[in-house]
Structure 1
Amino acid sequence: MTRLSAHLRVASAAGIAAVAALFGAAPAALAQPEPGVPAAGTVTPLVDCVQDAPLGAVTARSVVLGYRSTASAPVTLPAGGGENDLTSGAGDRGQPSTFLPGEHHGTALLTFDAQAEPALGWRVQGAVPAIDATAPACTDATVVTLNAPSSAEAGRSFVTTAAVSRLLMGAADGGSVGFSIDGEAETVVPVAGGSARAELTAPAAGSHTLVARYLPADGSGLKAATASTVLTTAVASGPLSVAANSVVAGSTSAVVVVTRATANGEATVDYTTADGTARAGADYTATSGTVVLADGVREAKVRIPLASRGAGSPSATFFVLLQRASTSVGSASATVLLPAVATPPAAAAAGPADPAAASLAIAGPGDSDGPASALPVADPTARAAGAAGQDLLLLIVGAILTVGGIAGVVSVIRGVTLSNANA
């Protein structure tokens, strides 16, 4: 290997690392498709820009490569294998070998001797873009990195952003980005800080192409650039709701059910617990996560672990809340009721410990049917056994004294004497 070749290889490796850092991702050649998944489609190689740098008697030419793939899945074309080659010299020089769906820029950087290979080209599936001075200069070329969801609900809005960079030169400022779906009218947004953000409405259910087109400001000297991605839309899944099943004594978990009105499309929603009168860590375990309802699925269950609560614990509640749903939400919270924990029978049989309360539970002598007496047993006013007959006699004596005078007294005395004799 000559010293020049070694320098060029080092420069190429450093350039690839710089491009990867610029776009915040590894080159697409590092991505791997799912094994055993065929992908039909056309891959078109792109020369994003070219930059020449004289190195003594040698002109080192750096080229930034991109591609466009119409396949619906990653396509693998081994470098140097016949369908992915450089047109002269070694066929494999680190160009991408795995091609993702859509349009991608800044995927690789190659450096070579422009004097030794003035007509070098990159051939992929028969297409050969020229790598020469007719390509845009890297000081003027731009690239758009599109960030958008891969799926959305038909008729609902979604947010997409586009970052605009000057290849090998950092972010581009000024100009605007036009966002469009399937070639319809563009939504044009100014570029600020190297990016643009738009809120679009998802079209009818199906597969669509989302395009972001950079429009440089007049007189800037920058070149236009585009990026695209596939957007899949599905019919509305219907509003989500959450409800809690009943919790019975002794349960180790509470079951919360997330449901939706229809099972169309996929829906996702985050959930989290929140304290009420029940406290996380003491009565239940704080829990959060994401529920995914796949197409055709209407409900999903979430289990919240419950703690062991002591005897005599009162009833308590906590809540499960829905957040950040991919569709509308009808009911965003559910209340989980933890039942009171009963006191063991042995403790209940011990009776109240309050002396005042204990005095209320003491029944008077001979009182088997009536309520307990609140008077102490030794109280002189408490009734004794057999006192009911004497109380009746005293009432009769009072009546006779009022009506019959002395004669009545004599009759009462005789009645008492006869009563004692009979006893």
Structure 2
Amino acid sequence: MTRSSAHLRVACGIGVAVLALLLGAAPAALAEPAASAPAADGAIVPVVDCVQDAPLGAVVSRTVVLGYRSTADRPVTIPAGGGQNDLTSGAPDRGQPSTFLPGEHHGVALLTIDAQSEPTVGWRVRDAVAPIDPAAPACTAATAVTLSAPATAEPGRAVVVTAAVTRLLLGPVGGGAVAFSLDDGDETVVPVAGGSARATLVAPSAGAHTLTARYVPAEGSALRPSSASTALASASAVGPLTVAANSVVAGSASAIVVVSRGSAAGEATVDYTTADGTARAGLDYAAASGTVVLADGMREATVRIPLPARVAGAPAVSFFVLLQRASTTVSTASAVVLLPAVPAAPALAVADQPGGSSGASGARPATGDRGGPASALPLADPTARVDGGAGQDLLLLIVGALLTAGGIVGVVSVIRGMTMERARAS
């Protein structure tokens, strides 16, 4: 037997042994039941709010209004007709609810069944069954409360809640009152007007709570009481911090920076510091740092950054204010402070300079705003200074000199002639 054949036989033997182990373990693995998922969604209790029969010849049409109570802290979805949310006879899916919100809810679905063919039908959700039979309240007297309230609130803050009360098949009720309470505590009773009642409650301490609205019919009324509840989460909503800079005008002694937040609830702290941009600390602004404290009830605080006087003609520059080490989240961590340019000092005329004189000989006239002469005379005046004036002055000097020299020669000639004439006469 060659060496390669021996190696092949060993490999085949190992493969057969592994395959046998797998085949032997597979049945055991298939036979082991899968671990059941924990039913941690809370309890769902189906409720038959009311039943109303309407004979139609040989058939009795039964109208059924459904509700439910859920102790879950989040919405729970149970598909209708899937084995966990069925009617107990006939078609399992008749349009019953499939999404169950936290709290107590009524009048959420309306079914119609044949009371003669299905006299003992019920609505089953998981392991709880609500029977549908004539012993249920009549829909002409049954009521339902629909509760509207925010899902979250800030501790100690006002919470506005509204309860709409209706007769399940006949519209809103016209009397009675609604008693609102938190965690089955003291009730706030509000009369029903126009089918609803509204109350303002104070949000409790941080945590999960239950808000309940209980309808109390007027004395002597044939209506039945009803109630509804919902979850209310109370938590401090500090909100993210932001920083922004106000506009700075030329000559300002300080720059104002505002640290703000969306909610005034709770206390928040944050450190701030300045950082150079094109502006330089000590030259264009004074470096600053510190801590901003927003107490409970404060939405914003201001920080002033000192600005020294800047020289004339200084250009526009900027620096930064940064937020650091905040006690809560920060949505905007930096603000840009823009310092505007400083206007240049206006040029002074010679007459306005120290020691200057508007009438001094040889003084150079000041230029005007448009670069032209600043003479008080009109531009067309020949004595006003214009471009090329230096050349014209030189020409005038030369001409004057020539004229002067000619005059002197003429005077000398006249004097000499007169002298000669006197000599001849004598």
TM-score range normalised by the length of the shorter chain? 0.5 to 0.7
Check 1:164–1:370 CA distance in 2 against 1; reply closer, same or farther (3 A cut). Answer: closer
| Matching residue of 1:185 | 186
Q: Which has the larger radius of gyration?
A: 2
Q: Is residue 2:172 matched to residue 1:176?
A: no
Check 1:120–1:375 CA distance in 2 against 1; reply closer, same or farther (3 A cut). Answer: closer
| Matching residue of 2:245 | 245
Q: CA deviation at 1:300?
A: 3.5
What does 1:10-409 correspond to in 2, within 5 Å?
40-235=41-236, 237=238, 244-247=244-247, 257-259=259-261, 262-263=267-268, 297-301=328-332, 365-367=361-363
Deviation string, structure 1 residues 56-88 (Cα, Å, up to 9, x no partner): 110000101111111112222222222211111
Deviation string, structure 1 residues 252-305 (Cα, Å, up to 9, x no partner): xx99752367359xx9x999xxxxxxxxxxxxxxxxxxxxxxx9635444999x
Q: Is the 8 A contact 1:39 1:73 kept in 2?
A: no
Deviation string, structure 1 residues 384-415 (Cα, Å, up to 9, x no partner): xxxxxxxxxxxxxxxxxxxxxxxxxxxxxxxx
SS at match of 2:219: coil
Give distance in 2, aligned partners of 1:244 and 1:82.
Answer: 58
Q: Is the 8 A contact 1:258 1:299 kept in 2?
A: no
Q: Is the 8 A contact 1:46 1:67 kept in 2?
A: yes
In the alignment, residue 262 of structure 1 is paired with which amino acid?
E
Q: CA deviation at 1:91?
A: 1.2
Q: CA deviation at 1:144?
A: 0.5
In the alignment, residue 367 of structure 1 is paired with which amino acid?
A
SS at match of 1:159: strand
Q: CA deviation at 1:366?
A: 2.4
Q: Is the 8 A contact 2:243 2:332 kept in 1?
A: no
Q: Unaligned stretches of 5+ in structure 1?
A: 1-37, 272-294, 305-335, 352-356, 380-423
Deviation string, structure 1 residues 289-336 (Cα, Å, up to 9, x no partner): xxxxxx9635444999xxxxxxxxxxxxxxxxxxxxxxxxxxxxxxx9
Q: Unaligned stretches of 5+ in structure 2?
A: 1-38, 250-255, 270-295, 301-325, 369-373, 385-426
Q: CA deviation at 1:156?
A: 1.9
Deviation string, structure 1 residues 69-112 (Cα, Å, up to 9, x no partner): 11112222222222211111111111112211111111111101
Q: Is the 8 A contact 1:143 1:226 kept in 2?
A: yes
Q: Is the 8 A contact 2:242 2:332 kept in 1?
A: no
- Bigger drift between 179-188 and 101-110 goes to 101-110
Q: Is the 8 A contact 2:89 2:118 kept in 1?
A: yes
Q: Identity of counterpart residues, as a percentage? A: 56
Q: CA deviation at 1:120?
A: 0.9
Deviation string, structure 1 residues 167-195 (Cα, Å, up to 9, x no partner): 02111111000000111111101000111
Give distance in 2, aligned partners of 1:85 and 1:370.
Answer: 102
In the alignment, residue 245 of structure 1 is paired with which amino acid?
A
After TM superposition, the score normalised by the length of structure 2 is 0.54
Q: CA deviation at 1:369?
A: 12
Q: CA deviation at 1:368?
A: 6.5
In the alignment, residue 366 of structure 1 is paired with which amino acid?
G
In the alignment, residue 205 of structure 1 is paired with which amino acid?
A
Q: CA deviation at 1:203?
A: 1.2
Give distance in 2, aligned partners of 1:163 and 1:338.
Answer: 55
Q: Is the 8 A contact 1:256 1:302 kept in 2?
A: no
In the alignment, residue 58 of structure 2 is paired with which amino acid?
A
Q: Is the 8 A contact 1:179 1:211 kept in 2?
A: yes
Check 1:192–1:339 CA distance in 2 against 1; reply closer, same or farther (3 A cut). Answer: farther
Instruction: List 4+ stretches of structure 1 deviating above 2 A.
Output: 235-238, 240-244, 246-249, 254-264, 295-304, 336-343, 359-379
Q: Is the 8 A contact 1:256 1:301 kept in 2?
A: no
Q: Is the 8 A contact 2:248 2:340 kept in 1?
A: no
Deviation string, structure 1 residues 355-374 (Cα, Å, up to 9, x no partner): xx9x9999664237999998
Check 1:169–1:88 CA distance in 2 against 1; reply closer, same or farther (3 A cut). Answer: same
Check 1:298–1:77 CA distance in 2 against 1; reply closer, same or farther (3 A cut). Answer: closer
| Matching residue of 2:291 | none
| Matching residue of 1:24 | none
In the alignment, residue 155 of structure 1 is paired with which amino acid?
G
- Bigger drift between 140-149 and 368-377 goes to 368-377
Corresponding pairs, count: 275
In the alignment, residue 110 of structure 1 is paired with which amino acid?
L
Check 1:170–1:208 CA distance in 2 against 1; reply closer, same or farther (3 A cut). Answer: same
In the alignment, residue 245 of structure 2 is paired with which amino acid?
N
Check 1:57–1:360 CA distance in 2 against 1; reply closer, same or farther (3 A cut). Answer: farther
Give distance in 2, aligned partners of 1:270 and 1:123.
Answer: 51
SS at match of 2:129: coil
Q: Is the 8 A contact 1:257 1:299 kept in 2?
A: no
In the alignment, residue 362 of structure 2 is paired with which amino acid?
G
